Chains A and B, each alone.
Chain A
């Protein structure tokens, strides 16, 4: 299920997260950082890819721009985060979207695999929500305000 949290804008953030609590907290943290961008949420890997490639329920997104930032959890139902990352890095339309992996795991293998598959950042979700707020604030400011994205590739 996809929820649009703000009016459609060209700078959509895609949050791929299966835990409702984490979804709610992440969105709260981003909003607390004064980021007004629309946030789309995908609850599993398949849904995330459907959204990105305008398939299935999201066929109507074919003419809409791809998200500006993807916040990706690794442990997901159906298709896990690493598989989503691999699929979107393999596609010309999505291969340049900044992807921030945000997960509970700090297993070295997960970190290495994420970077190897082309993640731009790897953040471990802290238990302390205060820390979480700081992290969300920093990543929002960096990727949405400071970072100069790649000009859209002509299709």
Chain B
């Protein structure tokens, strides 16, 4: 049975019990009322009887006409009271002798009224007869009063008993429901909680074992399904990561052989060409020397290409150790190195203070180095080369900016800018293999950032980038 059904059942039971108790209390209370009314009636009866006795005395001993009329008034009232009591059926058989005695009294009274005043003996006889009957009725009336009082007490006791037992029944139902609540909800809930905690701590093979036909059973089933899905997903992820690791290892060994084996033959080509140039220069004409020089240049270029490819793959493979990087200081270091290597081609480095970035320092150094060397290279032909390194806000983000006043490029080719070995300028004009910006893009991408470039031919180039959290 569902918990919600049980709850509804318990609520309806309590409501029904309360209604029953209310009806019982109402009934008991109405009994009390009835008994009270009968007591009042019995008391009134006794009063009327007493009054009638007095009036009888008055008439018999004083013979007043007023007393005769009053007797009839009181007698009629008494009859009415008796009739009303008889209709209520409270006192039942107890009223029958009283009614009989009333008839006797009325008969005797009629006789007295007819008896002449002089016949004192008969009147006294009749009077005593009346008084005996009335006295007996008075006693009966008091008896009725006592009975009514007893009835009141009984009814009150019943009313109290009903109220108390009703409360007890409601208490019992409440206790029963809380026991039910404990067994049906608290116990399985704790069980589920333990299993959920165990799952949360990484025990994904935890069994959710609440086998029930209610919501908690369904919840247990759902949680079990969740744990199973989680386990499956983790297993898949583990397999994928294993595959990735394997791929990485392959990539690693591939890079290793590229690095080691592909360069060997190039060394031989370059080395033995030089041997020829050195040892056999007297047997070579200008074309022969030129050919050998071309072989050497090609070997070295290919060596450079291999190194660039390796650098690119290295940027992808190296683990990132993210910390706060002082970009201003890093840029100044790189600028100093570039100036040192190229004394005689002065560049005006405008590096803003306080530039910081959340990044891997060595990866960021590689990216910045490439960007700054590009800026240096392509502004080299300007009259007064200036390279700005600062930050700016665009589209709600803080971007680092590396800007030069060099030759720039046509935005139509901007999408090729960051591809490996893509070049937008002639090698003879600006040397390079075209790997630099590809490396920069990978570094930025690995930091969850973005890099864009803007330029116009002859108006310099601007590179904007951010990493996941650029601190303003």
Contact = CB atoms under 8 A, between A and B. Distances in A.
B328 interface: no
B24 interface: no
A129 B278 CA distance: 12
Measured as residues with beta carbon below 8 angstroms from the partner, the interface class of chain B is 20 to 34
B288 interface: no
Contacts of B272: 21, 25
A128 B263 contact: no
Interface string A18-57: 0101100100100000000000000000000000000000
Contact of A106 (B259, B265, B271): B259
B255 A127 contact: no
A129 B299 CA distance: 10
B274 A130 contact: yes
The binding surface of chain B is classed by DSSP as helix
Contacts of B259: 104-107
B299 A127 contact: yes
Contacts of A21: 264-265, 267-268, 271-272
B263 A125 contact: yes
Contact of A22 (B264, B300, B310): B264
Given A21-B271, A129-B271, A130-B274, A104 B300 contact: no
B260 interface: yes
Nearest to B299: A127
Q: Which of A22, A75, A129 has the most CB of B within 10 A?
A: A129
A114 interface: no
Interface in B290-315: 296, 299-300, 302-304, 310
A125 B255 contact: no
B139 interface: no
A75 B260 CA distance: 8
A22 B267 CA distance: 8
A22 B260 contact: no
B270 interface: yes
A132 interface: yes
Interface in B259-283: 259-261, 263-268, 270-275
Interface of B: 255-256, 259-261, 263-268, 270-275, 296, 299-300, 302-304, 310
5 contacts: A21-B265, A22-B267, A25-B268, A125-B263, A127-B303
Return the 8 tightest CB-CB contacts between A and B, nearest first: A127-B303, A21-B268, A129-B271, A25-B271, A104-B260, A129-B274, A104-B263, A127-B266
